[in-house]
Every structure is written in C-alpha cells, then in structure tokens.
C-alpha cells in the first residue's frame, strides 16, 4: 500500500487539496497549474495522461508509448490531449526526441523525476499510464486511484490484482486494462479511457468519486496488515495473536 502521505486532502505538495466529493474543480485547478509550470497549452478541459514510473523498457513498457505517442496526440488533437512524463531512465531521450521532432511542446512534457512534481502529476492528471510488461506489485496505480487519476494498465502481476475495468452501469472498476502487451493494446486502452472522459459530467463525476473513496478504503496499510494476518493464520491454522 502507498505511504499514508499520498492523500489529496492533506498532500502539501499539490496546489489545491481535495476530497472524493470535491475532486472535480480542484483537479482542474491543479491541472492548469501544472500546465503553466511545464509550458503546456493551458486548458482545464484537456485530457491529461501522466507517466509516473521509471523509463525502463525491460519492464515498464515505455516503448509501447513511444510507438503511439505521436499518433495518439494527432488522433485527439482536437481534444488537446496532453502527455506528461515525470521520470528518469533510458527512454527519456526517445520521448524528448518525439516532442522535439514534431514540435509538440504544448502537448508533451518530459522532465526528470521530482517527488513533489510527481505528486502534482497525480493531482492534475485524468489518467495514469502503466503499461508494464511485468509488475510484481506496483504502487502508482493505487496512488492514481486515490487521487482520481484512473490507471491504464497492462493485465499483469500486481496490476491484475489492483486494476479492474471501469463498468459505469455496474458502478465498479477503477481503470482500463489491456491484455496483449503491444502498442495496439495500449492504444485501445487509451481510446477506452477517452470514451470515459467524454461521458456527461453527471455520469463521470460520481464514478471518479466512487473510485477515490473505494481506493482510500482499500489501498492503505491497515487493510494490507489485516490481509497478511489472515494469510498467516490460514497457513498456521491458528490465530497469530490471542484475542
């Protein structure tokens, strides 16, 4: 589970704090603040996708995003879609080259990892990009869900355990999952996320509120500790502590 400090209602690193019930306007304010800081086009209605993890192509799937980055920006040009990468690693230069070659600095920002800025990324973004080839655990998808930034994830390992496809009708799920580890799979999941983004506010806002509430209850150390207690007790066939 994430550190308890990852809570948008108390996080001192973000511009405007918010709860599940007040996320809508606060996230828009945090978005415009980050856009100004990074030199992106300032637009609170722009769908903002955030990459939070190290740029390691052997695990994190950054090559999938590199394959479709220009096409994704182009396909949603009329929507002012933006991608923010706050991370270090071998693939950072690839992303910078794409932005430079196509002159997309109003739509793509690539900067070194910074803890406070990364927290701002969670608070400002609408979606989180986590297309890992493998992921034993992973914390960003939990943090993103708590901050109302819905994860777009490859169906593997810890991501499989913590990210479930959003089902608006059944009021469940917290993200968008793709099964096949390739750029087409990631592109499909981004399209699913954009379909969600385009829902009417009276439908979308309650879903994000639900996801944030559920995530605050689910992704914390108390819940994790209780799960470990149950696991060990099942293995030992006895209580760990006398009650």
What's the whole-model pTM score? 0.91
Contact present, 84 and 106 (Cβ < 8 Å): no
**How many alpha carbons fall within 13 Å on the CB side of residue 55?**
22
DSSP string, 2-62: --TT--TTT-TTSSS---GGGHHHHHHHHHHHHHHHHT----TTS-EEEE-S---TTTS-H
Q: Are 68 and 75 in contact (CB under 8 A)?
A: no
Whether 8 maps to a domain, the answer reads no
6 occurs within a structural domain: no
Give a yes or no: residue 16 inside a domain: no
Under the phi-then-psi rule, with left for phi > 0, alpha for psi from -120 to 50, and beta for the rest, what region is 112?
beta
Question: How far is residue 80 from each of residues 48, 63, 65, measured CA to CA in Å?
Answer: 9, 23, 18
Residue 62 lies in a domain: yes
Could you tell me the residue range of the domain that residue 144 belongs to? Answer: 22-236
CA–CA dist 56, 54 (Å, integer): 6
Total domains, the chain: 1
The pLDDT, as a whole number, for residue 221 is: 46
Whole-angstrom Cα distance, residue 227 to residue 222?
9
Q: What is the pLDDT of residue 138?
A: 85
Residue 195: inside a domain, yes or no?
Answer: yes
In a domain, 5, yes or no: no
d(CA 217, CA 82): 30
Is residue 15 situated within a structural domain?
no
Centre a 10 Å sphere on the Cβ of residue 195 and count the other Cβ atoms it contains.
11
Residue 17 lies inside a defined structural domain of this protein:
no
Please, what are the averages of pLDDT over each run of 10 residues along the chain (243 residues)?
A: 92 98 99 99 99 95 98 98 98 97 98 98 99 91 97 96 96 98 98 99 98 92 46 57 63
CATH number at residue 48: 3.40.50.2000
Q: 3-state DSSP helix/strand/coil percent for the chain, to nearest 5?
A: 50, 10, 40
CB atoms within 10 A of CB 94: 17
Q: What whole-number distance in Å separates Cα of residue 96 and Cα of residue 88?
A: 12
Residue 114 to residue 88: CA distance in whole angstroms: 9
């Amino acid at each position: 589970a994430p550190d308890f400090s990852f809570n948008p209602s108390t996080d001192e690193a973000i511009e405007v704090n918010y709860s599940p019930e007040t996320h809508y306007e606060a996230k828009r304010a945090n978005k415009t603040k980050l856009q100004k800081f990074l030199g992106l086009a300032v637009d609170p209605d722009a769908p903002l996708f955030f990459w939070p993890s190290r740029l390691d192509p052997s695990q994190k799937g950054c090559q999938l995003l590199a394959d479709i980055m220009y096409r994704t920006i182009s396909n949603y040009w009329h929507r002012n879609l933006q991608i923010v990468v706050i991370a270090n690693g071998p693939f950072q230069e690839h992303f910078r080259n794409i932005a430079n070659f196509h002159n997309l600095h109003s739509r793509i920002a690539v900067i070194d990892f910074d803890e406070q800025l990364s927290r701002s990324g969670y608070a400002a973004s609408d979606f989180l990009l986590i297309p890992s080839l493998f992921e034993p655990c992973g914390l960003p998808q939990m943090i993103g869900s708590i901050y109302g930034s819905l994860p777009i994830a490859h169906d593997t390992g810890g991501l499989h355990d913590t990210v479930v496809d959003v089902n608006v009708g059944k009021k469940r799920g917290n993200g968008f999952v793709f099964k096949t580890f390739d750029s087409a799979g990631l592109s499909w999941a981004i399209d699913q996320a954009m379909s969600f983004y385009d829902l009417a506010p009276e439908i979308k806002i309650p879903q994000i509120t639900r996801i944030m509430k559920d995530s605050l209850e689910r992704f914390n150390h108390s819940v994790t500790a209780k799960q470990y207690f149950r696991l060990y007790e099942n293995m030992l066939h006895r209580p760990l502590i006398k009650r």
